[in-house]
A = this chain, B = another copy of it.
Amino acid sequence: MNRVVLIGRLTRDPELRYTPNGTAVATFTLAVDRPFVNQQGEREADFINIVTWRKLAENCAEYLKKGSLTAVEGRLQIRNYENNEGRRVYVTEVVAENVRFLSGTKGRPEEESVEDPFVADSEEVDIDEDELPF
């Protein structure tokens, strides 16, 4: 079991890319406020990387933008790859399975829910991480 629910704001517009075999991938970062203030009395945030796939990726790219308030539900994943200096790099991200647009979207009626229609689709196993565009 591996479940994550976050509410926060996009730190920049989503980036939409495609894998070599044409699958859409959108990535963005959510600023999620911490539940307390630090020793300087400031509220800090965690900056959490989100990845979405297929139709959900396209919807996110279409409707979300920097500053959009967004709820994300998904699974925590730690991906690792060898970078171009031959060093192993670990990337932590939340693979979103359900994204809810809460406010500050582009053009779309606010607060629409968008389910990923492929969330439990067996196609998910076919993504070869070596082919990822990021």
Q: Which residues of A contact B (CB under 8 A)?
A: 1-8, 32-39, 46-48, 69, 71, 73, 75-78, 92, 94, 97-98, 100, 102-103, 110-111, 113, 115-122, 124-126, 128
A69 partner, pick from B5, B8, B111, beta carbons under 8 A: B111
A92 x B119 contact (CB < 8 A)? no
User: Once bound together, how far apart are the Cα atoms of A110 and B69, in whole Å?
Assistant: 11
Q: How many copies does the complex hold?
A: 4
Given known A92-B78, A117-B122, A122-B117, contact A128–B39 (CB-CB < 8 A): yes
B46 x A115 contact (CB < 8 A)? no
A113 x B33 contact (CB < 8 A)? yes
**Distance of A126 from chain B, by nearest CB (Å):** 7
**Distance of A49 from chain B, by nearest CB (Å):** 9
Closest 3 CB pairs of A and B: A92-B92, A1-B7, A119-B120
User: Once bound together, how far apart are the Cα atoms of A71 and B75, in whole Å?
Assistant: 15
